[in-house]
Amino acid sequence: MNIGKQLFSSTVAVLLMCSVASAGTQTITEPIGGKPPAGMNPSIKDYNYRTKYMYAFEAAIWAMPAVGIYGFRKATDAVGGEDNTILAWSKPADAKAELLTANDNTPYILAMTDLKKGPVVLEVPAKSDKAQLYGQIVDHWQWAIADVGPIGVDKGKGGKYLLLPPNYKGEIPKGYFVLKSPSYRVYFAFRSIKTPKATMADAYAYSKKIKMYYLDDPKPTRFIDPSDMRFPSLPRYDEEFFKDIYEIFTYEDVKPQDKIMMGYLSYLGIEKGKPFKPDVTTQKAMRQAAADFYYYMQYMMTHPSEKMKYWPNRQWQDVLTPDENRNFSYDLKERLDVQMRANRYFFATYYPRSYYNPPANIYIYTLLDREGKPIDGKKMYKLKIPKDMPVKQFWSLILYDADTWAFIYNKENKHGISSYQMEKLRKDPDGGVTLYFGPRPPKGLENNWIPTAGKRVAPTIRFYGAKKEVIDRTWVMPDVEEVK
């Protein structure tokens, strides 16, 4: 047995020595890794252009909420307003109010301010027997600093809000709802919602009770009625998109989470303290990236995830799709969901601070008919509005131009139909109404019709004062049907 073991051990030792000797004679000519696999070739012909394009495309996704709200500053300038000027529509908005998914039922109230000049006071009136306010105050990322009105900080009782700039060190007076803004530029959008027995004139008069001024310079508030003016707030999907990014992010303080993107932007000539003078190659890259970003967002709108569908067996999508924390910042514990953030702010502005439980209002839209086909504004469609819509206040159907997500310019200057107009609508035998939309009205149903002007449209329904059955989704809305 011992002799056998010795022979076995000797044999193993010899084999190992041979193996080592053999390995030592192999010639090593390449390290492991360090370059692409054999046969791979570069797919990029112009690295200077392609790198700038990639940075620009990523920047567009990242900056969408900020660019969307910055349009309000440019549009306010266009109608003669400035910081602390209150824009109060004396009538519901129409196509001249070039806003993302605005409503045509209630007068709007918009304003902006710049906290680099100091703290700002915003005085809002209490809910009255004529009207009440509903809306948000947001920072330059459209993060809601506060909701205002019955569901907001003041609970409908009105009061004075004090807006403080970032890192404010001064004395804070008493008697205010104190709001510490993450950004210098701040915006607000309110709706003056009239009570059932009030008029639009009452709602407008109510909006004029708002005051806005610098804490250290309480000048009388200036008002502008833009009802008959063009208010061009929509994002421009060309190189101007990046001019907006420059004007936003070279003005505001940079958050740590955004430093990587600011590094990318520096390669596009967007840096603090430096003028924005992109060369020809950079302009071309930015122009193409902005257009591609737009088409990418439109693709996402027509290919929604299941969580965006309001009902699994319907085509309607949920406008108010919050993040995992049930708010609309999309700033999560381990990541910033820039994709979902861009998707939601591409077609809308002024989301609430968080998803209310239960929500006060529900908004749904669709780009597809009952059969799952894209809605074509050159064809005729119908939508059944059941007799007992689950709302405490009112419902409305609005058609948006699906290419711009703003109102459609049409000769009738008509953009939607709501329950406020029920007396003028032809009723169905069951007490509900059937609404139509297309390039021409059905004969005898002009009041039940919304013109499309041949545009690709996005029908959107709002449930104001949504009841439990629509919130918990036990009640289901019919789909849009093509009239054949």
Asked if 364 and 460 count as a contact pair (C-beta separation under 8 A), the reply is yes
Q: Tens digits of per-residue pLDDT, 385-400?
A: 999 999 998 899 999 9
Residue 175 pLDDT greater than 90, yes or no:
yes
CA distance 204 to 130: 10
Residue 66 pLDDT greater than 90, yes or no:
yes
Tokens of 380: 């005729």
- Contacts for 125 with CB less than 8 Å, ≥ 6 apart: 133, 158, 206, 209, 210
Smallest CA-to-CA distance from 106 within 170, 230, 207, 192 is with 192
Residue 236 pLDDT greater than 70, yes or no:
yes
CA distance 386 to 10: 93
End-to-end CA distance of the chain: 96
Q: What is the average pLDDT score of the chain? A: 92
Percent of the chain with pLDDT over 70: 95
161: number of Cβ within 10 Å: 22
CA distance 22 to 307: 61
Residue 15 pLDDT greater than 50, yes or no:
no
Q: Tens digits of per-residue pLDDT, 243-296?
A: 999 999 999 999 898 999 999 999 999 999 999 999 999 999 999 999 999 999
CA distance 171 to 169: 7
Q: What is the pLDDT of residue 5?
A: 52
Domains of the chain: 80-229 (2.60.40.1610), 306-482 (2.60.120.600)
Q: DSSP assignment of 404-429, as one string?
A: TTEEPP-TT---EEEGGGGGGSPBPT
Smallest CA-to-CA distance from 131 within 181, 195, 179, 199 is with 195
Query: If you average pLDDT over residues 332-357, what whole number do you get?
Result: 91
E-assigned strand segments in 301-430: 317-318, 361-365, 381-385, 391-401, 406-407, 416-418
Asked if 150 and 132 count as a contact pair (C-beta separation under 8 A), the reply is yes
What's the predicted TM-score (pTM) here? 0.90
Residue 209 pLDDT greater than 50, yes or no:
yes
Asked if 151 and 127 count as a contact pair (C-beta separation under 8 A), the reply is no
Residue 6 pLDDT greater than 90, yes or no:
no
Query: If you average pLDDT over residues 148-166, what whole number do you get?
Result: 94
CA distance 461 to 398: 7
Strands 177-180, 159-164: pairing is parallel
Residue 104 pLDDT greater than 80, yes or no:
yes
CA distance 367 to 171: 52
Query: If you average pLDDT over residues 138-162, what whole number do you get?
Result: 94
CA distance 116 to 82: 14
Q: Which uninterrupted H or E stretch holds 164?
A: strand 159-164
Q: Tens digits of per-residue pLDDT, 455-467?
A: 999 999 999 889 9
Smallest CA-to-CA distance from 176 within 135, 219, 120, 132 is with 120
Q: Which residues pair with 381 in a beta bridge?
A: 437, 482
CA distances, 113 to each of 77, 210, 423 (Å): 12, 14, 42
- Cα 337 to chain centroid, rounded: 14
Residue 14 pLDDT greater than 80, yes or no:
no
